[in-house]
Amino acid sequence: MTATRSNITTTGADPRLAGGRLTIDLDALVANWRLLAEKSPADTGAVVKADAYGLGIVHVVPVLWQAGCRTFFAALPEEGLRVKAVAPDARVFVLNGFFAEAFPVYEQSNLIPVLGSLHELSLWKKLNKGRKDKLPFALNVDTGMNRLGLNVDEGLAFAADGRAEKPILLITHLATADDRAHALNQKQFESFQELRAAFAGIESSIANSPGIFHPASREFDLNRPGVAIYGGEPLSDTPNPMRPVVTLEARIVQIQTGVKGETVGYGATTTLQRDTRIAICSVGYADGYLRSASGSGVPLRNAVPGGGEGFVAGKKVPIIGRITMDLTSFDITNLAEDAVKPGDYIELFGPNIALDDAARSAGTIGYELLTSLGNRYHRRYLHSGQSD
Numbered residues of the known binding site: 147, 325
**Residue 21 · residue 252 · CB < 8 Å:** no
Residues 145-178, buried b or exposed e (16+ Cβ, 10 A)?
eeebbbebeebbebbeeeeeebbebbbbbbbbbb
CA distance 341 to 278: 11
Say how many C-beta atoms besides its own lie within 10 A of residue 46's C-beta. 27
CA atoms within 13 A on the CB side of 291: 11
**Residue 95 · residue 114 · CB < 8 Å:** yes
| 3-class secondary structure, 47 | strand
Burial of 26 (0-12, 13-18, 19+ CB in 10 A): buried
- Distances 183 to 72, 144, 179, 189, 314 between C-alpha atoms, Å: 29, 11, 9, 10, 43
* Active site (catalytic) residues: 49, 266
Q: Which of 204, 186, 187 is nearest to 195 (CA)?
A: 204
CA distance 290 to 252: 18
**What are the binding residues for substrate?**
147, 325
Helices 26-38, 57-67: inter-axial angle, 10-degree rounding: 50
- Distances 324 to 96, 267, 290, 327, 355 between C-alpha atoms, Å: 34, 11, 9, 5, 20
Say how many C-beta atoms besides its own lie within 10 A of residue 122's C-beta. 11
